[in-house]
Amino acid sequence: MFCSKILLNMETAKRKILVVDDNADFVGLVRRLLENKDFQVSVALDGKTAFEKVLSDDPEMVLLDLKLPDLPGEEILKRIKEINKDIAIVIVTGFGGEQVAVDLMRKGATDFLSKPIDREVLYSAINNALKIRDAQIADRNFERYPTLERFFPFLAHEIRNPLHAISGALAIIRRRTDLKDEILDQSIKIIDEEVQHLNEFVQECLNFVRPPNRVHFIEIEMNDVLSVVMNIISHIFESNANKIKVIRELDPALPKIVANYEEIKQAFLNIAKNAFEAMPAGGALTIKTCCKKKSPTHIEVIFSDNGGGIKPEDLKSLFKPFFTTKLRGTGLGLAISRRIIVERHNGKIQIESEEAKGTTVKIELPIGLR
């Protein structure tokens, strides 16, 4: 039921885009393409109208042509950002305008597109720009929190800005390069992967310090949450899916609990990812849910894998922020899971492990809100 509600909200919450271009045919085409994807679209054929639409329609993103009859693109970009700094702006340019577009990206634009625009490239650019906008707004939401909580948003801002510039420059290289050159193609993929890795690290830092939100506490079916988590895991580890057997021992009579759905899903996703990563050659993961016999006011969720296990000397450090034994790990996954389960949901998390035999993670959560 809750998952259906989430999907319904995603479908009905239309995101607002303003298209600013003096070519009426181009504007009409883009409008049809975006409305087919359920965006709410408004248009402006000159700079003056664009400012009026920004004030009246409050768009989340603007597709901005560089050459308009009344004002240069740079001036329009500057004034839109003065009206609302959260608006994502994607520059649209004809052939030969790439250098100007790159300069405008340094001044606040998120990306640029060259005419003629491929439909899928347009959709991809818009989705990426909106994700960047949402991430930047989320970063600022932490500014009122002290010490570590104040440091992470600053870190996120300082890292993400150059990452966005690198991503934009990489997109230009891709569009203007012969990717049949295997070495060049591989180099571009490496840059792309490293940018993605850094973005994920920044997001995990923000997840770690994110303040609790009791407004989002609702009744949830734990077995349903675990099904969603394992569906996500099957996509993340698609190449290993056939090597790892997932055994579900879920209690059909498990009572609902009051919790933050997204946070609990994130905590379990981190634990399940660790289990899959511990079994690169294959193995089995058992997921069990039940009511605590000694404490009927709590439910228990258990993840057991038969992977490589954890060294005894590492067990005491598993929940410390930034502690990791992985080559590419951030060291925040279990720290985030513990914060969600213990600090935000008054639960318990315990890890038992033996080298070469596997690891078991036991979670207890109260049925009611405490």
**At which residue do the structure tokens 């003096």 appear?**
22
Amino acid 112: pLDDT:
81
Read off the pLDDT of each residue in 248-271 and give the average, rounded to a whole number.
Answer: 94
At residue 150 the predicted structure's pLDDT band, cuts being 50, 70 and 90, is low
pTM tops 0.85, yes or no: no
DSSP state of 254: P
Q: Which of 107-121, 251-265, 335-349 has the lowest mean pLDDT?
A: 107-121
Print the SS3 string covering 44-85.
ECCHHHHHHHHHHHCCCEEEEECECCCCEHHHHHHHHHHHCC
Question: Could you give the dihedral angle defined by the CA atoms of residues 128, 134, 137 and 138, in that order, rounded to the nearest 10 degrees?
Answer: -120
Give yes or no for residue 250 having a pLDDT over 90: yes
Tell whether the model's pLDDT for residue 2 goes beyond 60: no
Q: What is the pLDDT of residue 347?
A: 94
Reported confidence tier of residue 13, pLDDT bands at 50, 70, 90? low
Task: Give the CATH architecture of domain 12-209.
Answer: 3-Layer(aba) Sandwich (3.40)
Q: What letter would DSSP give residue 211?
A: P
**Which residue from 365, 334, 367, 327 is spatially nearest to 351, judged by alpha carbons?**
334
Place of tokens 């039940």: 290
Q: What is the pLDDT of residue 153?
A: 63
- CATH number of this structure's domain 215-366, picked from the four choices 2.30.130.40, 3.90.550.10, 3.30.70.1450, 3.30.565.10: 3.30.565.10
Number of H helices, E strands in the chain: 12, 12
pLDDT tens digits, one per residue of 284-329: 999 999 998 777 899 999 999 999 999 999 999 999 888 888 877 7
Report for 65-79, 84-98, 217-231: range of highest mean pLDDT = 217-231
* The two structure tokens encoding residue 293: 């016999």
**Average pLDDT value for residue range 28-56:** 94
pLDDT in tens, 95-120: 556 667 667 777 788 888 888 888 88
Angle (CA) 235 238 240, round 5°: 140
Token reading at 164: 């966005």
Please state the domain extents for the chain.
12-209, 215-366
- What gap in Å lies between CA 102 and CA 169, rounded to an integer? 8
> Which has more pLDDT, 6 or 307?
307
Q: Is the pLDDT of residue 218 over 50?
A: yes
Quick check: 90 and 132 in contact, CB under 8 A? no
Q: What is the DSSP letter of 341?
A: I
Q: Are 16 and 57 in contact (CB under 8 A)?
A: yes
Report the 10 Å Cβ neighbour count for 80: 23
CA separation for the pair 254, 152 (Å, rounded): 38
Q: What percentage of the chain has pLDDT greater than the value 90?
A: 50
- Quote helix, strand, coil % in the chain, to nearest 5: 50, 20, 30
The pLDDT confidence band at residue 12, using thresholds 50, 70 and 90, is very low
Q: Is the peptide bond before 116 cis (omega within 30 degrees of 0)?
A: yes
